[in-house]
Structure formats: C-alpha cells, structure tokens
Amino acid sequence: MDAQVLGGALQGISCEKDVLIEILTQRCNSQRLMIAEAYRDMYGRDLITDLKENLSHHFKEVMVGLMYPPASYDAHELWHALKGVDTEEKCLIDILASRSNMEIFQMKEAYLMQYNTDLQQDIDSETSGHFRDTLMNLAQGTRMEGYADPSTATQDAMILWEACQQKTGEHKNMLQMILCNRSHQQLWMVFQEFQNISGQDIVDAINECYDGYFQELLVAIVLCIRDKPSYFAYRLYNAIHDFGFHNKTVIRILIARSEIDLMNIRQRYKERYGKSLFHDIKHFASGHYESALLAICAGDTEDY
C-alpha cells in the first residue's frame, strides 16, 4: 500500500511532497527497504532514482538518505567526504569516532560493494599525518570489547599524560593507539586515573596540547566513549548555530541516529542548551525540508 501511494505521489502531475514525508519518515529503515522492493515490483522502477529525479536540494538529500540501510548510508557519507571537492574531515570524525566494531565492519563491506574500492585505502590517500593514522586505526574496527583491567589503567593514563607533555610523533602514536584500541570500560578507568595523575580532564589536556583535526578526532573519541548522545547533541548545536546551519551535518546525524539514540540526543540537547532540537531546526530550516527534519526529530511536541 505504501509503495502504491508513493508511486501516485511521485508520478502524478506534481510531486506530492507531504505524502513522501508522511510515509518515509514514519517507517523504520527495514520497512522502507521493503517498500522500495514492493515499489520495484509494482512499477519496474527504482524508488531512490525516482526520488532523485523528482526532488531537489536538501529535501532530496533527506528523502534519499532515509532509503539507505545504515551501513550503506555511512559508506555513502564517507565516500562523499573523501572524494568530494574538499575532504570533509568532520564527517570522517563523526562516523569513525562513534561506530562500534560491527558497524565499522558492515560499513567497510558496504563501501567496497558500492564503490568498488577499499575504505582504508581511500582514507590513506585522502588524509595525512597523525589524523590519517588515527582514522586508519579506527577503521580497522579492532577495539577490544567488554575487557577491563584496572592494573593497566594507571599505566595507560601515565602514557597519555606523557603524550600530552612530550608531543613527539612516537607519543602521538601511543596516544591514538590507546584511545582507538582499548575497550570503553577500560578507557573509563584510564580517564579517571588521568585526572588523578594530572589534576586535569583528558579533554582539556588534549585541547591544550594538540590542534587541528587530529585534536578534534581525539576529543571526539573521548566524548563518544563517555556519552555518545551528548557528543551528537554538541555536534548538532554547532552545526545549527556556529556554521549558519550546516545542512549536511544536521541531515547526517538525524538520519544515522534516528533509530539508535536520537531520543537521548534530543534530551541532552535540551538539557545542555536550554532550547529543544525541534525548536532550533524550526527556527533555521523552512518548507518541506523543515517538515522532513522535524518529522524525523519527532516526539514530545508539548515541550517545543
């Protein structure tokens, strides 16, 4: 039924955008994939192709983005971040600093299938320095999971402290090795030991000692380990307020997190910044694009 309604909305005299929003934002990803399959059977056409042909600008990006499986969407975003006119380092940071081993494995498989090239090779060729090395480490997807050893937490914290003091290439390598490979449980203890040793929070120390995208990536890893929804709330706030509404970032985070932790992100956003995510999107976006973003954002309209 959804496929039939979408067909009517897309193939009529004028595209009925409200109908597209009503259906595609209110179905989960697995349902949208089934709708796309039914659409192909019914019309002999690809739904994504028809969306691209009938829509434009940021509204098209939202509607098409919703149609990708999560791993394929990550792969799509990484490809464009790496192969666009300018490398979009912040996109690489958002995705690779926040995904689990399994998500990274699935993303690499999708990347290879969609673009017939290896993600790590593209990172290697399109980025540089310690930023590249850290991305490459994350893209291996080999972080230890569920393992914590209090006896080595102090040792790791000492290594991090020395890395922040010495700042040599070798120390930078040790820093990123620990942040990229230790389990989240282990790193919680390491961060606490770092505070005990240095009297300073690890994020403050990184911000003082390093700069550029390497520093941003290290901070993102720490923040994602501590509280992923808070990290994405912070990224959304910056994208909305600091960049005059950075559309790509807002779209990517809303779509990628919509079935994972968007409700928690919304909660952190309101707690930290005083106004709801819904309010800020409504203030800066407009038209069907605004309606689509708000429909994904969803929920708790009485608070807005």
Binding-site members for Ca(2+) are 244
Helix axes 262-273, 277-284, angle to 10 degrees: 80
Spatial contact of 62 and 255, defined as CB atoms under 8 Å apart = yes
Instruction: Bin 244: left if φ > 0, else alpha if -120 < ψ < 50, else beta.
Output: left
Residue pair 104/123 in contact (Cβ under 8 Å)? The answer is no
Closest CA to 114 of 65, 53, 71: 71
Q: How far apart are CA 105 and CA 278, in angstroms?
A: 33
What value does the CA radius of gyration of the chain take, rounded to a whole number of Å?
21
CA separation for the pair 292, 18 (Å, rounded)? 9
Q: Transcribe 238-254 into DSSP letters.
A: HHHHTSS--HHHHHHHH
Burial of 211 (0-12, 13-18, 19+ CB in 10 A): exposed
Structure token pair of residue 105: 């494995």
Task: Please say whether the beta carbons of 249 and 242 come within 8 A.
Answer: no
Q: What does the alpha-carbon distance between residue 244 and residue 66 come to, in Å, rounded to a whole number?
A: 24
Which residues belong to the annotated binding site? 244
Residue 161: enclosing H or E segment and its boundaries? helix 150-166
